[in-house]
Structures are given as structure tokens and as C-alpha cells.
Amino acid sequence: MRILRFVVRRLLQLIPVLLGVVVVTFLLVRVLPGDPIRTILGPNATAADEAAARARFGLDKPLWQQFLDYLGGLFTGDLGTSIQSGQSVTGELALRLGPTMELVVLAVAIAVVIATVVGLWSARHANRAGDHSIRVLALIGNSMPEFWLGLVLILVGYAGLGWFPAPSGRVDPDTDLTPITGADALDALLTGNMPALTSALWHLVLPVLTLVVAIVAPLLRSVRASALEVLRSEPYAAAAAHGLPGKLLRRGYLVRAALVRLPSLAALVFGFAIGSTVLIEYVYSWQGFGQWALRGLLYRDFPVVQASVLVVALCYVVVFLIADVVHAMLDPRVRI
Amino acid sequence: MTVMRIGRRRRGAPAGPAADRDGRFGTVLVATGAGILAVVALAVLFAPLLSSWGPNEIDPDGSTLAAPGGAHLFGTDVNGMDVWSRLLYAGRVDLGIAVAAVAAAVVLGSILGVVAGYFGGWLDDALMRLTDIFQAFPTFILALAVAALLGSGPVNLAVAIALVNAPAYARLVRAEVRTVRDLTFVDAARTSGASTIGLLWRHVLPNSITPVRVIAPLNCGWAMLTLAGLSFLGLGIPVPDAEWGAMISLGTGDVVAGRWWTSVPPGIALLVCVLGFSLLGEGLQERADRVRR
Amino acid sequence: SGSKDSTSSSASGGAKSSTLKIAVSSYISSWDQDFVGFDLTALMLYKNVFPYMIDYGVKTVGGSRILDTETIMPTFAESFEPDAAQKVWTLKLRKGVKFASGNEMKAADVKWSKDRAFAAQANVAGIYRTIGLTKPEQVVVVDDYTVEFHQEFPSALTRQIQAISLYVFDSVEAKKHATDADPWAKEWFAKNPPTGGYFNVTKATQGQEIELTANDGYPGPEPAKTKTIRISVVPAAANQRLQLQAGDIDIALGASPRDIKDLKSAAGVEVLSSASNKQVAIQMSTTTAPFDDVNVRKALAYATPYEQIIRNVYGGDARPAKSVVPLDMPGYSEKGYPYTYDIDKAKAALAAAGKTSISSELVFETDNEEQQQLAVLVQSEARKAGIELKLTPLDPATLADRRGKKNIPLQITSGQLWVNDVEYMLATSFVKGANLNYANYSNPRIEQIYQQSHSTVDPAARNQLWAQVQDIMAEDVPWVVICQPNFNLPVRKSVSGWVQPMDGLARLRFVSASA
Amino acid sequence: MSLLSIEDLSVVIGGRVAALSNVSFTVDTGEVVGLVGESGGGKSMVGRAVVGMLPTGSVATGRVDFDGVDVLSMSAERLAQHRGHGAALCFQNPRGALSPTRTAGRQLVDRLTTHQRMDDERADETALELFEAVGIRSARRRLGAYPHELSGGMAQRVMISLATGCAPRLLIADEPTTGLDVTLTTEILRQFRHAADNDGRGVLLVSHDINAIADVCDRIVVLYAGTVAETGPARRVLTAPAHPYTRALLRSVPDLGGRPVVVTPGAMPLLREAPDACPFAPRCAHAEDDCRASRPALTTQGRSWTAACFHPLRDGVDARQEADVTLRVTTRRPGKAPAAGPVLVVDDAHVVYKSRFGRGGHHALRGVSLTVDAGERVGVVGESGCGKSTLARLIVGLAKPTGGTVKAARSALVFQDPIGSLSPRRTIEDAIGEPLRALGVPAAERARRAAAVLDRMKLDRSILGRRPHELSGGQAQRVGIARALVAEPDLIVFDEPTSALDVTVQAQILAVIDEVAADRSHGSVFISHDLATVRGFADRVVVLYLGRIVEEGPVGEVFADPRHPYTRALLSRGVTLVRDLEEADATSGCALAARCPFATDRCRAEDQQLQQYGESRAACWRVPEIGESV
Ligand SMILES: Nc1ncnc2c1ncn2[C@@H]1O[C@H](COP(=O)(O)OP(=O)(O)OP(=O)(O)O)[C@@H](O)[C@H]1O
Ligand SMILES: Nc1ncnc2c1ncn2[C@@H]1O[C@H](COP(=O)(O)OP(=O)(O)OP(=O)(O)O)[C@@H](O)[C@H]1O
Ligand SMILES: [Mg+2]
Ligand SMILES: [Mg+2]
């Protein structure tokens, strides 16, 4: 199958990129000022203690040796041991990725749906009051720092109205949710734990909303512009001139053609969202990947930083790959 | 048949939205955006005239978190500094960093993009893989790392934000160059014997940076938000120098207590300023779209 | 308050809420305090989940119950007493202490735990050096319930040092998970919280939440009052405040000073307040220009706006400190720090150093609002005396790195010593090469006093020594001693029994909340 | 009552553009009416008015009666019904007018289910039939094809099937043959005749090329600057055009017979409001004062024949019959230039365009040998995609040969797309000076020479400061030629220099090129897909087919006595090719074999080399046999 060949070829292309990311991160964390070992030793540690700790994490070996060890570990799925927690980074990562992905995937999905529906509407009512207000509103949302918006939403939604649960945790602990993937709503669904599902979804509302507001504007703009372009294009005019009914026009001649540019942009936005969850996670006490990576960086927890960068890069390239495949499915002109 | 019959006048056709009005709203957007930015720019430029306090001056009366009114238009912050004055001076830092960072990103990205797009081949592959690597890098981590590496001064922050943004420009310009380099006029210039540098500088580049000019303002707004985010994580401009993001995050605790003045004004300033850039960008985009049609 | 506590502790279980909710700012860095990193949250939890053999007693001062660092009592141990020469200390274990696995705590566990600490060459191994414990062989199992610690020299600090070091692992369980490559079961302990303390960890969601359940295998005095404690991580101080006000949490351990001020008057909330050992200072590197000149150090000491800091940064909720020796530490003397805010004197001191202006960086912790405000104030005032300070916030790793390299000219420090004793203070902060001696301070007379103090066990004699120390410090000014902020804890009104921890590590066993 | 009756239709767009002014004409059932005129004349606007799809901001007055109902005042529902079912438009540029994200088949089925109320199954069958009816081969496969997978000709046919699929009473085809080859054009036009004759539809055929459509039309309407210049029966209009503009239009195009091109100076005005004089007057040789004072109304010239002219021409003779006897207007300088040796030697050149991801590539030229002597004029002809532009690029060094050699003197290229070949952000002066800049000529000298060459192109010097988008196509192409000339090259290559231009402008540019080519100080290579254009001024002609030269010889010989079946087909000399060009044909044996009616097994097996036949050479071994068979 062509698409399979394309995917395989693209996956092969990813290897140098990921390898590059691995090398750059590896060197970068070591170039940064700061020492991961000093932070884990008590106040009475001596130079010998320090050396012992350094040796425990293999940081006494020459750089190339450390790199080879790291690379070797990567192939066996071993991302090393966190200097701060002593836990396997792979394990911690598995725990942290779920919550963040839950947030980002949900937010991007919702934003894409909103952008599609509202964008198409906006294009069909272009340059009327409704269209103008939607666009300006989206821009305003896009112009707010997420952490600020998050705080306002908490003040209103939690402290003021009391509609939403406290910004602490992701699910009510009394619901006894059995973690599987780390994405609580998904786990609740998988285990059929209805109270947990409700609780998890309820916890998700505000953070997801914050993220959606922050990312919807560019998506909306793109859909609207593409739709407008289609509406004013010859093919659409041709179909309209042949008297095709409005519903058929929209379904057959507008939607798909207007959405061809969305996947790549959505992928870009996804990458951005993963990056910016660190702020949202902080505000909503959402202990996900962003907070973990940030802490890793602040404490120069080498394996954690390396793993988190690698994972974000991996997500990023995979999402782009998916976007390209979806794009190819939407747009028959794309050669893959 | 020369008699002109006054027929029923019809305005517009039912199908096809108002293409003409696009441009008009685009112009409104551009004007609004530019207007906002102009006002902000003037305000921060003439900050010393608009405020009687220095931005880092602590009120000797020791009134921290004083409510607006009296000697302090927007009250004082937790350090006892005048919020209004800091608001104005912070604008200098924010606008300066955002514009400088984006300008640097545009220059760097354009150079990379032109080289990659025009020459193609292994150079293109290598450069694009490089931008891939940097694009795949999480934004905040990259910015944080650069800031940590270089230290957190305004210049270094601008460098960090520029580095984060440059890959996108490189891609944008490259894509454009790849189209432009195959256009007839480039061939024409080539057959006229133009040198490669001349070709790139005089023919390819000017025709490849149109989308950049549209994206750049949007990006300026985004750069300000990134800066604010970095400040929120404690990695922005070090105290006591004023910066909106830092002011907001320092003041978040106050809002909860009903002391709105420490973080709402910088929040609004940031919002308005980013919105200004967004409106400008959106308007430019719309006008560019119209020209393309 | 104390009276309230007595009523609620004597009340029947029905009136008590079985679950107490506490918010902290960050998740613990690890469960293993031997091998990897720890932070305040972690240390606090260790106090509650590890069986510590001895611990501080409780006393009531000014209506609040506080930990008494001077009375150290056996808790999980039956007794901990020295021989006559104060060199061999005998630990007798309490019988019937159960780990979560059901294993009983035995001498072998103590031995294994201490062997592990020595092997780790980190935290405890370092602390033990101050009392002459350096090798595993010095810890001797006598019988199932008796262990001896053979110190190289007698020390007045032993009880205090052991109070923070004598924690025990479930070695039977641990050995099941030990491998040749990992004889100390590091991997297992990284993931699995220790058991056997006042509380057992029943659930821990990494980064998010920890659930503690009272250990019913503890047969000793003062068992945990609350069945379940839920500790949730809420990084944003504003959120903690909101949740406390809404009653979603009972105790906000990470509230900001600004919020605490407001919360004092909030409905349903009470701010428990008491004096603390936490000391805030600016350490000046005595080996780095310009602070290698004592007059420059004096200039900064005169240029620091002590009262303004107490007012602006701490909302008046701090005690002015007059010595490098903290208030409440035995031996404290007012003469230890004769400097007050006086710009003229500051200028004069600078002139005495032959300078009219100097510049330096002032380092403090990123993300530490208190230090940041303090830095801003000091910068603003110091400038008036001709001292130009560049504020440099550093992230933990960079700070640790630079501290290790001892190349910070000026830095803000805040914290309390783990052991409330001047000898310990000298050992960690003022003798040459000491780890916390960021001022790079060294003075032969101090070294001499320090040596002398090892073998001086008599309290009066020791106080003599400490008076000398403070005289020298007043002259040398290695630190700008700023103040000792009070400990403030916002809690729901329903919370009772809180004992103010002088070491900053909450003992949750005392706390309960009425439903 | 006519099916379509347009009465006094005027359209003003945005108050700035008078696209149509007082247009009136009718189309009857079963009738094919041709609507001709230059670009911007308002042809498409008429088509759009008929389906009620005028651009936003336009104000239309007058009547567009369809079956007696005015389209301009139809309600939205009535209009929806009218569109497609009443009148269906085949869009100009069919490739661009087909929805790119929907298969051709689905798009047709959409029409069938909407207008013919078919269920899906029947629609599928009917779609297949319709595709076959318009001559789409392997129709079943094409039903599932997306528009970008179709060739231009195929897309055009799909567009026609879409329009007919609406079962309209009136079929409007906007420029259905632009960009298509001669052979395809005939085929497509036949479809419309068929629609009128067999299905009883009215057909409105829009084209800028009056000659091309004249044969299938019953009546012709000539538009000029939004006004009707002439309307009448096709034969009359063609043989005895009454309006000078109609005549200008007819004579602007060269034809295979070598009929001269008559140049009409000036360009069509773009009117901002309805004209109050004859809009053609400024360009008209017969214009008198009255023409400039008021606008002539359409007056009867004969039975159902009208013209808007105060001084209609009565001496009408069929321009095409006339052709052979008239002498060329442009002077051809006799005698060869001093033999200075060849300025171009291409020897067995191959060009392969590598595809982006390894594996294969496109073999655009396969062993082309060509010599051009100083002062010689060589014409190159061939179908679209045969490699003409590649040859041009090869000559000027834009393409590198993957095999063989190219030895060229200093050469310059004139491009097909006049405006596109000028850098959008550079001034004209800059563009013309570019070759000189490369030679290191100082700025002042550059300016002097640019101005001089501009004079030669008869362009006003004020143009020097303008930018490309401010030029008309004709002006831009003159600038392109000026740029080619300015550095005095030894060889100028013209790559379809007129195909992007308007008919009358084309004639003007051809005249300029003729003048330039007549200058024997340099050699010229003139490339075109249109043999007639080449005939005008080449000494020698080369016929290219799928990257090979299939015939070559003196221009007179090749046109008078074409040898190769392909050349014969191009010249319509008794040979019709079997099917459309397909890229796969080029693999082995004679490339034409699959399409050639004379092909034998030997043709399919053996590569063909050029062989001498009389004065010309052809790459076909069967020339002697088939020479008689035709
Ligand atoms: N949307 C529009 N807005 C403004 N002017 C327009 C618009 N569409 C067409 N015109 C103008 O109306 C006039 C008639 O255009 P029209 O497309 O009918 O010409 P045409 O004869 O079909 O030309 P072509 O052969 O290039 O298709 C031209 O002057 C054109 O510039
Ligand atoms: N850059 C390219 N990459 C790949 N294939 C190309 C490229 N340029 C041209 N081709 C292919 O090479 C063949 C010859 O192209 P060329 O442009 O020379 O044809 P042409 O005779 O000039 O056609 P036209 O009359 O349409 O201009 C065509 O099939 C075309 O698709
Ligand atoms: Mg047209
Ligand atoms: Mg071509």
C-alpha cells in the first residue's frame, strides 16, 4: 500500500531527526551551568561523597562513554535513572505522559472541532458582524497568557461559582480509580468506573478550556481562510452554477476542500500545546509531563531532561506524520 | 435598441460572499492593531513624562500593596514600587525583546530558508533536519536552556526566543523559495547571467518573504507571551526590572485577595499589546489573501 | 491553641474527621533519603513514615505547642542512652513495632539501615561524622532488640544527631528486592515508600498525591490521631489559599506570606503562629573582593534596612535577630550582631575601606518570593550607600553548583539548622571547608573553639565558648543577619493538635480535624 | 420565442468596470452560437449573467430572458432551479473548475442526482455512459479519478459531461478549447455540435479564436469592450465581416497556408463606463469623426446579420480563401547572412528530469541533434509536452544535458509567460539591464542601452520606471524581447512567445519578432505548438515528438509536402491520430506507433532514425509507402 510505504519512509526519515535531538539534548544539558549531583547530597557531604554519587549515576565516565551508555539504554527502552528520585525514568515518564496527553489531545481535538464548525460558519457569513466578532474574540483569547487565563477561570469557576472541583489533582481520590494509562478519564472509561469518569471529566473542564482558548485562534483563522478561498474558488462556483443544492455543496465541495490545510496546522498547534502545558499544569496542579520536565531541567536531572525532550520530539514528529497522512487522505493532490 | 431601459437593479449575487469587504475589514484590523501598538509604543517611550516614580523606586513611606489613588495611580506592588510606572517601563522591555527577537529570527530563518530552498540537495536536507531538530525541541525547554546557558538578561532572552522561532521562518521561507526558484522570472534572470548571490538577493528573496511579513507581527505577540511564560516560571527578566509577565505572575497571589491592581493592569497591557500584534497580523494576512486572489 | 487541642484529643472518635487534607507545594523528590535527593517536603514525610527511634519532645510556649529540641525522647525505641564515657550509646528497641509487611522491627533492621547509610556515602553518613561515626563496624548488634553505637569520641551532639538519623528500614522485606547489582535495594525503595513509622503510605500518585494511613503496628506512646491524611500537591500558592478558604483542604503548607496575612481574618481559617528557628541572612564571601574587606561587610550590614524588611517582606511577623547564633539556640547573645540600619555609618564604613562605591551580584533562589522581595529592598537601600547590587536569581542546580564552587560573593540564605546547637552550627557553617560556609569564613580562634567544644559537654562551659564565638562574629561580620521570621500556618478552624516543628518538619501524628 | 434572449444587458462591476454595455442577442434551441472577442471583452460575463452569477458588487441592467423569464430578477429558488437545469456553464479552465477533492465521477453523479433525479445506481451507470459519450477512454477508471489526475483535454471533456449531466436546455462553454491541440480542439467542438443537433440543446460557445469555432457555429456574436460589434450567421461573418474589428480579429491569426498576419495597432480599452463612442474607433483604419462622436447601434447588414458600425465593410471576402495569393506584409530580407559558422550545435542531447525520490525520472529529450547557423531562423513545433521548452532551456543553459553535447554561442531566451518572466519587484529598467549588469556594464551605459532597445520595441520610455504588474501582456512581451536583445546575443530563442497573449496583440508581437528575426546578425529559434505561427518566419522547421525530432526540413518543403505521419496529422493532411498522447508511449520502438494509423510490428520494435526524403528528413521508414496511400 502506498500509504504504508509513505509511513515507513517517513519513519526512516525520523531517525536522523530523533538522533539529532538526542545528541543535542545530551550535550545541552551537560553544557548548562549547574550540577545535578550537588542538589542530592546533604549539607555535610564531602568531595568523596560527591564522587561516589557521581559514580553511582555514571557521570564520572568520559562523555562519549556516557553517551554510548545512554544510546544503548535507549534501544532497550531504558531511559536511565532519575538523579532526583532514583526511579526509572521510563516508569516516571509513563506516569506523567498520560495526564498531559489527556489534556493536550482533548484540547486540540476540541479546538479542531470548534475551529472547523465555527470557521466554516464564519466563512459562510464572512464580513458580517458575527464573523467579525468571532474572529476578534478568538484573537483576544489567543492574546492572553495561559497562566493568567487559568487563574481567572479558577477564580470564577471554582472560587466564585463553585461549579468546578478544586484545582488540585485530576480525579476525586475517593472514586478509587485504578490507573492504567495515566489519563484518568480514559482509565475510568476502561475500568467502567462511572463516578471516576464524571470526576475526571469535571476536573478536565477548566484546564482544557484554558488550552482551547489559547490555541483555537490560529486553527479558526486557517479554516475560515481556506473555506473562504473554497467558497470563492472556481470549483465551488462551478458546482454552484450547476445548481447543486446547498447541503450537497457544503458537504461535497466545501468541507473537505476547506480542511486540507488543517492537519499540518493542528500538528503544529499540538506541538505548541505540549510545550505550553507546563504553565497550565502549574496553575491547575496538574502533575503532568510539563511540570516533571521543568523540575528535571531546574535540577539538571540529566536523564529526565533527555527523556522529556526526546518524548516531546517523538510526539511532535509522530503527530506531524499523522497530520501528513490525514492531509494526504483529505487532499488527493498530495503525492505520498 | 439604443434606448436604455432602466432595469431592476440588483446588488450582488446570491452566491459568493462579499469579497470586496474583506479588504475593508482587513484594513480596519491593520489600522486598529497599528493604532494600539502606536499608542503603547508612545506611552512606553514617554514613560518618564507619564509617571513621577522610577520603575524600581521603592516608596520610602513603605506602603507596599497600597491601593490605587493618591501618590500611586495604580497603587504599589508587593515591593512598594509604583505599578503604573513599572507598567510603562515594562512595555519597553516587552516590546523591545519581542521585536528584536522576531527580527533576529526572521533574519536567521530567512538566510537558512533561502540557502536550503534554493540550493536544495544535501544542503537542504541537512538544514531542514537541523530545523526539524530544533522545532521538535519543546519550546519552553529550549528557551529555558538558552536562558540558563546565557543567563537571563533581556538580550539573552531575545536570543532564546529568536532561536525558538527561527526554524519556523526557515521552513516558511524555504517553502516559498522552492516555489519562487522555479518561477520564470528567476530563469529569466539566470539566462541573463545574474550571479547566484545577485539572483538570491535581487530576485528570490524579495519574492519569498511576503508570508514572513504577515507572520512576523503575529509572532511578535507570541514572543511576548513566551516571555511572559518564562517570567512566570521565574526565568524571565530578573527583578527588580519591570516586565509585564513578571508583574502578572508576581501579582497573581494578590488577585485572589482582591488586590487587582498589581496584576490586572499588566495583564491588560499584555493582552492589548499582543492583541495589537494579532490584529495587525490578521489584517495583513487578510489583505495578502485578497491580493493573491 | 493548647486548650482546644486537649478537648479535641479527649473527645470520642466520632467527632473526629477520619481524613485530614493537606496541601504542599511540591511532590517529594524521592522516598529514599540515603541515596538520592530530598527536599523539605520529603524530609517532612520521612519524619512521619520512617520509624525514627528518638524524637523531640513537646513543650508549650506562649500558648502554642512546639517541639522541644532540648528534650529528646525515645519513640520507636525503648531507650537510647550512653555509657559513662559518652562514647558507646545503647539503643533498645520497643517490642512489637510492625512494618507494613507484618515483619517486626528488630536490631538487624537497625544494623542493615545504618550499613546502608554508610554505603550510600550521602546524607546520614555525612552527619554521623560530626559525632565520630564513620564505619559500619561501629554499629553493633547485641541482641534482637539491642544495638550499640561506638563513637570515636564523646559528643554533646549525639542525641540531636541521632534524632535526625536513626530511622530504620524493613530489612527483611528489602533484602527480598536486593540484587547483586543493587545490594541496598535502591530501585525498590525509589518506588516503594518506607513503612513502619507513625503512618504508612497507602497510596502515592507520583507528583500528585500521597495518602497516609495511621500505622496500627505502632505500640508506643502518642500514636497518630488521624486515620487518614491526604497530601496533595498544589504548586500555586493562590490555589492553596482558595482551597483552604473553600474548605477543600485543612492545612496549607505552601501558602505565601501575603496570603497568610489575609487569611488571619478569613472565615473558617486560623493561622497558627509561633516563633521559629528559621534564620534569614546574607552571607558575604570573605575571600572574594570586595567583601574580603571587613569594612565593606560592615557597610552592607549598616545599609541593610532590617526593620523595613520585617515590615514589608514579613508583614511584621518576624523577630529581629542580633547574632549569627539563632534566637532560641542555647548560648544566643545580643552582642553577636551590633549592626543596625544606618546609611551614614554604611558610607563611613565604605570610606574606611577606601572606597566610595562597589558593585557585586546578590544571589538568591529563583521562585522564592520572600528572598526576591528581600533582595529588592536590600538593593534599593544599599545603592544609597554606594553599593550597587545586581540581583541574580539562580535555579536549584546552578545554585548548588556555585555554592559547591564557593564562588558566590553575596547570597541570601534562609533556613534552620537540623541540630539546635552552636557546635553543629560551627561545624556546618563557620569552620574552614564546612559545607554551608558559603561565606568562606575562617578564623583560627573559631577553629580552636570548635575543637574545644567537641570534648566540652558541660552546658555552662559550652555557653562560655559560644559567647566568645559571638564576639568574634560581631567583629568579623561574615553574615548580614536579618531576622527570624515566625512560623505561620494557615489551617481550617477544625484542625487541632498542631505541634510547631522547630526543625520545620511537621509531625502529623499530633494533628486531627473535627468533622 | 428564443431559448435565451439577452436584451440591452449592461453590467457595471463595483461602479468601476463597465464589463458589458447594452448587449443583445439570442440563442435558440438546437442552435450553436459563438461568442467571440478578445480577453476582457466580456464574454465570460455574459455567461455568468445567464446563470445569474455576476461578481459581487456588480449592477446589471437590461434583461436576460430564459424561456421568457428574466434571470436577473429570478427568486433564489427559481434561480437554483434555473442553474444547471436551465442553463449549465462549462467553465473556462476546466482543470481549475473541477473540485480537487472529489472524484470526477462523484461530481458527475452529483449533477445527475440533482437535476435528473436519478438514484445512485442509475446515476453511476449514466455517468459511465456520459463519459464514454464525450470520448473519455477507459471511462470506468476515470470515474474514480481526481481532477489532478486528468490531462487538460480529459478535464475539458469531464467538464462538458458535467454540464450535459445537468441536462440543461442551454449549454454554455467558456473557452472550451484554449490550450488544447488542434486535433483535440476539433474533437471537443464536435461534442457541442452534437449536443445541439442530437439533444436539441441551445449552445453558447465562448472563444477568443473566431477561426477555431467558426465551423461548428450557426451564428456568431462578436464582443468588443463589452459591446456587441457584430452578430450574424457564421459563414457570413467569417467570409464577409462587416465590422472592422471582426476583420481585425480574423486576420490576426496566422494560418497553415501562410496567410499573412495583419497587425492592428493598439489594444482593447478597459472601460470604466458604457462608451459614448465606437470603442474600436481609436484602432480602426476606417474610423471617421462620427465614430468618435457617438456609439453606433447595431444595424442590419443582411438577414439576421447586424453590426455596430457607421461604416460597415462591404468588400467581404473569405480571409482564408485569400491567404494563398496575398503576399506577406512583413518583409523578409532575402539572401543569407555571411556564413559565420554555426551559433548552436546540439548533438544527440538527452535531458532527464529526475524525480524527487530517486527511481527514474522523466526523459524529456531523447537524442536531439540540431544545428543553427548564424543568421538562420529555425522553427520548432510539436504538441504540448513534447519537450520544446526543454530544448529551449537546454540551448540557453538552464537545463543540463544528461547525455550528448550542446555548444552554444551567447544566447538569450524569450519566455512564454511575458509578465511571469519579469521579476515582480524590479523595475523594467532593471529587468532590461540585467544581462548588461552581468557583463559588468556600468549603470549609465546600461540605462542608455535599455532606452535604445526600448525604442526599437516601440515602447514609451516612461515604462522604464514601472513594475511588471503595471504592464499589459503585449508590453511585457516587448520588454522580454528587449531584454533578450539588449546584450546583442548570437542566438535568440523564442519559446511560444505569443501563446499567452490576446489575438490582436499576438499579431503585434509576431510582427515585432519577425522584425527581430529578420535581423541576420543573430540566429533565431522559434518554438511553438502552432505550425501556422512558425510558418511565417522560419527558414527551417523541426518537428518534435516525445523528445525526438521526427521531421526536419526547409519550411516550404515541410508544409507543402509533410513526410512523417505525425507532421501530416498536425497539418491535418489526411492523417488522424488514433488517440491522445500518453507518456508511456515513449519507451521503445517508434514513439508514435501506438497512435499511428500506419503502424506495423516493425514500427513498434525498431527505433526510427531521421532519413532523407527529398529536401527534408523524417524519422519513419514507411514514408515511401504511405506517401501514396494518402
Ligand atoms: N470580479 C470582477 N471584478 C471586477 N472586474 C471584473 C471581474 N470579473 C471580470 N471583470 C472585468 O470585466 C471585464 C470582462 O471580463 P470577462 O471575464 O467577461 O472577459 P472575457 O471576455 O471572458 O475574457 P477572457 O478571454 O480573458 O476570459 C474585464 O474587463 C474584467 O477585467
Ligand atoms: N522540471 C521538470 N521536472 C519534471 N518533468 C518536467 C519538468 N519540466 C518539464 N517536464 C516534463 O518534460 C516533458 C517536456 O516538457 P516541456 O516543458 O519541454 O514540454 P513543452 O513541449 O514545452 O510543452 P508545452 O507546450 O506544454 O509548453 C513534459 O512531459 C513535462 O511534463
Ligand atoms: Mg473569460
Ligand atoms: Mg513549453
The confidence band for D27, taking pLDDT boundaries of 50, 70 and 90, is: very high
How is residue A141 written as a grid cell?
Answer: 483569547
Q: Are A312 and B137 in contact (CB under 8 A)?
A: yes
Ion ligand 4: residues, Cβ under 5 Å:
D 389
Q: What value does the mean pLDDT take over residues A317-327?
A: 87
CB–CB of C376 and B234 under 8 A? no
Closest chain A C-alpha to D105 CA, distance in angstroms: 13
pLDDT tens by residue, D524-534: 999 988 788 88
Reported residue count of chain A is 336
The number of the ligand 2 atom at minimal distance from the alpha carbon of D495 is 22
Closest chain A C-alpha to D166 CA, distance in angstroms: 7
Distance, CA of B249 to CA of B263 (rounded, Å):
7
Residue D389 CA to ligand 4 centre (angstroms)? 4
What DSSP element (H or E) covers D176?
none
| Strand pairing report for D377-381 and D523-528 | parallel
Say whether pLDDT at D392 is over 70.
yes
- Choosing among A2, A128, A242, A250, which should be mutated to test the D contact, i.e. which has the most D CBs within 10 A? A242
Mean pLDDT of the residues in chain D: 84
Q: Are B141 and B124 in contact (CB under 8 A)?
A: no
Q: Which of A306, A311, A269 is nearest to A289 (CA)?
A: A311
* Number of the ligand closest to the Cα of D21: 1
Cis peptide before C290 (omega within 30 of 0): yes
pLDDT tens by residue, C473-511: 999 999 999 999 988 889 999 998 889 888 888 899 999
Residues of B in contact with C402 (CB under 8 A): none
Cβ neighbours of residue C465 closer than 8 Å, sequence gap 6 or more: C331, C422, C449, C452, C453, C456
The number of the ligand 1 atom at minimal distance from the alpha carbon of D226 is 14
pLDDT tens by residue, D86-125: 999 888 888 888 998 899 999 999 999 998 888 889 999 9
CB–CB of B17 and A231 under 8 A? yes
Residue of B nearest to A313 (CA): B136
CB–CB of B137 and A24 under 8 A? yes
For A19, counting Cβ atoms within 10 Å of its Cβ (0-12 exposed, 13-18 middle, 19+ buried), the class is middle
How high is the pLDDT of residue A1? Answer: 62
Closest chain D C-alpha to B150 CA, distance in angstroms: 40
Atom 1 in ligand 1: which residue has the minimum CA distance? D55
- Choosing among B22, B40, B127, B132, which should be mutated to test the A contact, i.e. which has the most A CBs within 10 A? B132
Q: Which residue has the cell 551537560?
A: A30
CB–CB of A232 and B21 under 8 A? no
Distance, CA of B274 to CA of B226 (rounded, Å):
11
pLDDT tens by residue, D333-389: 444 454 568 889 999 999 988 765 545 677 888 889 999 988 889 999 988 778 898
- In percent, the amount of chain D with pLDDT more than 70 equals 91
The confidence band for D258, taking pLDDT boundaries of 50, 70 and 90, is: low
Residues of C in contact with A52 (CB under 8 A): 121-122
- In percent, the amount of chain C with pLDDT more than 90 equals 43
Cis peptide before B240 (omega within 30 of 0): yes
Residue D353 CA to ligand 2 centre (angstroms)? 9
The confidence band for D582, taking pLDDT boundaries of 50, 70 and 90, is: low
How high is the pLDDT of residue B61? Answer: 73
Contacting B residues, span 138-177, partner chain C, CB-CB under 8 Å: 148, 152
Cβ neighbours of residue B131 closer than 8 Å, sequence gap 6 or more: B112, B166, B167, B170, B171
Say whether pLDDT at A107 is over 60.
yes
Say whether pLDDT at D332 is over 60.
no
The confidence band for C206, taking pLDDT boundaries of 50, 70 and 90, is: confident
Residues of A in contact with B129 (CB under 8 A): 16-17, 20
Closest chain A C-alpha to D627 CA, distance in angstroms: 45
Q: Which of A63, A35, A73 is nearest to A51 (CA)?
A: A35
Closest chain D C-alpha to A260 CA, distance in angstroms: 9
Among A165-179, D8-22, D571-585, which range has the highest average pLDDT?
D8-22
The confidence band for A122, taking pLDDT boundaries of 50, 70 and 90, is: very high
How high is the pLDDT of residue C13? Answer: 40
Say whether pLDDT at B209 is over 80.
yes
Cis peptide before C485 (omega within 30 of 0): no
Distance, CA of D625 to CA of D630 (rounded, Å):
9
> How many Cα atoms occupy the beta-carbon half-sphere of D469 within 13 Å?
4
Q: Residue B69 pairs with which residues in a beta bridge?
A: B72
Q: Residue B43 pairs with which residues in a beta bridge?
A: none
**SS3 state of residue C495:** strand
Helix ranges, C288-387 (H): 294-303, 306-312, 343-352, 369-384
Q: Cβ < 6 Å from ligand 1: which residues?
A: D 13-14, 17, 19, 37, 39-45, 55, 92, 208, 270
Q: What value does the mean pLDDT take over residues D179-188?
A: 74
Pocket test for ligand 1, best of D9, D13, D53 (most atoms within 8 A of CB): D13
Least confident of B66-80, C74-88, D312-326: D312-326
Residue D16 CA to ligand 1 centre (angstroms)? 12
pLDDT tens by residue, D469-512: 888 888 899 999 999 989 889 999 999 888 888 888 888 888 88
How high is the pLDDT of residue D9? Answer: 93
**SS3 state of residue B194:** coil
- In percent, the amount of chain D with pLDDT more than 90 equals 27
> Strands, E, within B143-190: which ranges?
none
CB–CB of B267 and A148 under 8 A? yes
How high is the pLDDT of residue B286? Answer: 79
Closest chain A C-alpha to B13 CA, distance in angstroms: 12
Say whether pLDDT at D316 is over 80.
no
pLDDT tens by residue, C236-249: 888 899 899 988 99
Distance, CA of C316 to CA of C309 (rounded, Å):
8
Distance, CA of A164 to CA of D620 (rounded, Å):
85
Pocket test for ligand 2, best of D95, D151, D362 (most atoms within 8 A of CB): D362
How high is the pLDDT of residue B23? Answer: 63
Q: Which of B141, B144, B208 is nearest to B171 (CA)?
A: B208
Q: Residue D32 pairs with which residues in a beta bridge?
A: D203
* Number of the ligand closest to the Cα of D279: 1
Distance, CA of D228 to CA of D297 (rounded, Å):
9
The confidence band for C412, taking pLDDT boundaries of 50, 70 and 90, is: very high
**D/A touch flag: 3 or more CB pairs below 8 Å:** yes
The number of the ligand 1 atom at minimal distance from the alpha carbon of D271 is 29
Atom 26 in ligand 1: which residue has the minimum CA distance? D39
Which of D52, D393, D438 comes nearest B192 by C-beta? D438
Residues of C in contact with A38 (CB under 8 A): 397, 400-401, 403-404
CB–CB of A241 and D82 under 8 A? no
Mean pLDDT of the residues in chain B: 81
How high is the pLDDT of residue C295? Answer: 92
3-state SS record for C323-350 = CCCCCCCCCCCHHHCCCCCCHHHHHHHH
Atom 28 in ligand 1: which residue has the minimum CA distance? D40
Say whether pLDDT at D320 is over 50.
no
- Choosing among D54, D56, D98, D99, which should be mutated to test the A contact, i.e. which has the most A CBs within 10 A? D99
How high is the pLDDT of residue D346? Answer: 92
Say whether pLDDT at C148 is over 90.
yes
Distance, CA of D187 to CA of D314 (rounded, Å):
34
Say whether pLDDT at A5 is over 60.
yes
Which of B139, B144, B275 comes nearest A140 by C-beta? B275
Closest chain A C-alpha to B61 CA, distance in angstroms: 31
Pocket test for ligand 2, best of D148, D182, D351, D389 (most atoms within 8 A of CB): D389
**Does the pTM of the predicted model rise above 0.90?**
no
* Number of the ligand closest to the Cα of D386: 2
- Choosing among B125, B184, B205, which should be mutated to test the D contact, i.e. which has the most D CBs within 10 A? B184
Residue D45 CA to ligand 1 centre (angstroms)? 6
CB–CB of A154 and C189 under 8 A? no
Residue of B nearest to A20 (CA): B133
How high is the pLDDT of residue C16? Answer: 62
Q: Are D90 and D176 in contact (CB under 8 A)?
A: yes
Pocket test for ligand 1, best of D10, D11, D43 (most atoms within 8 A of CB): D43
Interchain CB contact of B58 with C (< 8 Å): yes
pLDDT tens by residue, C214-230: 998 888 888 898 999 99
Q: What value does the mean pLDDT take over residues C320-339?
A: 89
| Strand pairing report for C88-93 and C139-143 | unpaired
Residue of D nearest to A253 (CA): D99
The number of the ligand 1 atom at minimal distance from the alpha carbon of D43 is 21
How high is the pLDDT of residue D127? Answer: 92
CB–CB of B21 and A126 under 8 A? yes
How high is the pLDDT of residue D35? Answer: 94
